[in-house]
Chains A and B, each alone.
Chain A
Amino acid sequence: MNYVALKMLFGDRAKYLMLLCGLTFAVMLIVQQGSIFWGLMMWSQASITNLNVPIWVTDPGIAQVDEVKPLADTAVDRVRSLDGVEWAVPLYKGLLRARLATGEYHQITLTGLESATLIGRPAEVQEGRFEDILQPDAVVLDQWAVERMGGPTVVRVGTIFELNDKLARVVAIAKTQKSFTNIPVVYTTYEGAMRYVPRERRILSYVLAKHKDGVPVEDVVQRIRTQTGLGAFTQEDFGFKTYMWVLVNTGIGINFGTTILLGFIVGMAIAGQTFYLFTIENLRQFGALKAMGASSFTLARMILLQAFTVGLTGYGVGIGLATVFGFLTAQGGNLPFAETWQLLLLVLVALLAICLVSASVSIIKLARLEPAIVFR
């Protein structure tokens, strides 16, 4: 009877296409919005993932990575002295204004890396050599900084600009993940950063650390917390903390959640209504099948097959369209778009739920259908 079910489904072309469009639209909307949302969440952690170190040590009351609460300089040595710590280095992270030769000002995030190891440096360099950062007045920009500060005609390797009235010379362009705030990132050494930033009693932003091989990172994090009183997080936990902060303190979660929910509801409404209509219009035919000996179970199986066939087709087409959208708009990392398998799995579950609910309404109708309808 599967054959009959599919012929019935494809035979009513108008309704089949309407069902397909409704489900495709729902899937595309959910995947597209979900991918942008997840892309934004990844951007919100860019300051953490771009540095890619296992342990972040900071003030225990910190809310998220961009909210710097400076530490005493001694924090580095206190962390280094703990068992299970392979290494610990200082990091400066703060906002400054850059003044270009054109007279334009741009707010930038200054990132000061420890000069001996350059731990936290970006993995990829587009132009120049990152190691040249050790030269006097040398800074490295990320590609987003070049874009935000006027493009490669204005800012490139060799460009000189001012940071807090002091000279900074671009020696390389690094490639990084775009950040949520999209503020240009300027890398220098920790010592270089001390020269640029106004003098304060506490300058140290973070201590970056690594656990020794064979020692669980969570154990080291816990040890840092208990023995120094500082806040310590694994890279993943700090990323999650930042992600939760963005969710709670911005409208992003509600905005995207509402759109995704709307996609789900619209998809369910269209699919449910069309599918029910499809069943109602074929009620006499279903009654005839029942009279001919088809059990309610057989009819339910037919309805489920129809629902899941159109659902999975809509799933494929919807994902295809969303992927094409992402491919066209997110090229070069300009739009946050992260289509993960977890999201696709979640959408599949949501879609199957839509199909199941839509089919259930029809199945209940058919279960109550008296085959005697065919004689009326």
Chain B
Amino acid sequence: MNDDSQPAAVRARGIVKSFGTGDTQITVLKGIDLDIYLGELLLLVGESGGGKTTLLSAIAGILDINEGNIDVLGVPLSALPANKRTRFRGQTMGFIYQQFNLLPALTAAENVAVPLLIQNIGRSEALRRARGMLNRVGLPDRTEFLPKNLSGGQQQRVAIARALVNEPRLLICDEPTAALDGPNGQKIMELLREVGRSPDRCVIVVTHDSRIFHFGDRMASLTDGRITNIERIQQEGTA
């Protein structure tokens, strides 16, 4: 079980991010301080437009910030040049998206193998590992299916397998259950919680879905570009 004594996987200090210039400038993140620990699943919640996705993008290093520092697994992300940041992201992070973003022309196994192919792992080895990962997420008989022939829940499982296949230490999820019905959403969150409980990994989940709040270890509320509350979530069966 995670607690604050665990080492911080993500350490964000004074994050400011603005879009536009002059009169049209909008500051979306207004000085965010946040620590996310290994072995936990952090839920990032808040109203639409509050800056959740922007903060997620900043932590992932796919969006430059205006002020502040973000350390991921001890590496100062904002100080890394773009190409090194891209490589670092590929080696340490996995992504799960609301719309799955699977490549429609690739089978489930090929989609899962993509992060490994990006890391220049041979195709046959990548596909072998991808099939193994699909087996782990409960899709051993769907490896050769194209995304269009899979249900929403199955596509999201493929996306999770893709996010996990290169064993990332930081899993970043943007509304992973938004396109799924209740039971499928629950199954996906069970998978993510299992990943989050691994002591050398952490999971960040941006969500609006109150039905999945109980899967998190902590919940950070983001309102108008500021963290307004961080609370530990009472787990079932604990006092």
Contacts and interface: CB of A to CB of B under 8 A. Distances in A.
A8 B89 contact: no
B62 A291 contact: yes
Interface stretch (B69-77, B117-125, B190-198): B117-125
Contact of A284 (B86, B87, B95, B99): B99
A135 interface: no
Given A289-B118, A293-B87, A7 B105 contact: yes
- Taking residues whose C-beta sits less than 8 angstroms from the other chain, chain B's interface range is 20 to 34
A4 B97 contact: no
Main secondary structure of the interface of B (DSSP, over half): helix
B103 A4 contact: yes
Given A3-B123, A371-B62, A293 B103 contact: no
Nearest to A292: B115
A341 interface: no
A203 B174 CA distance: 94
A292 B96 CA distance: 10
Nearest to B174: A375
B210 interface: no
A289 B114 contact: yes
A244 to B, nearest CB: 52
Nearest to B120: A1
Interface string A1-21: 101100110111000000000
Given A8-B105, A11-B105, A375-B56, A291 B118 contact: no
Contacts of B63: 370, 372
Contacts of A10: 105
B57 interface: yes
Contacts, number: 81
B101 interface: yes
Contacts of A291: 60, 62, 89, 95
Contacts of A287: 101
Nearest to B100: A288
A370 B105 contact: no
A288 B106 contact: no
* Contact-residue bracket for chain A: 20 to 34
Contact of A1 (B87, B89, B117): B117
Contacts of A201: none
A4 B106 contact: yes
Contact of A290 (B62, B105, B174): B62
A7 B114 CA distance: 12
B102 to A, nearest CB: 8
Contacts of A7: 103, 105-106, 110
Contacts of B62: 290-291, 370-372
B90 interface: yes
A8 B95 contact: no
Interface in A1-55: 1, 3-4, 7-8, 10-12
Given A288-B97, A293-B119, A374-B101, 20 more contacts: A1-B118, A4-B110, A4-B114, A8-B106, A11-B104, A11-B106, A285-B103, A287-B101, A289-B118, A290-B86, A292-B162, A293-B91, A294-B118, A295-B83, A371-B60, A371-B62, A372-B60, A374-B174, A375-B97, A375-B174
What 9 A-B pairs come out closest when comparing CB atoms?
A293-B90, A11-B105, A288-B101, A371-B62, A372-B57, A372-B63, A375-B53, A372-B62, A7-B105
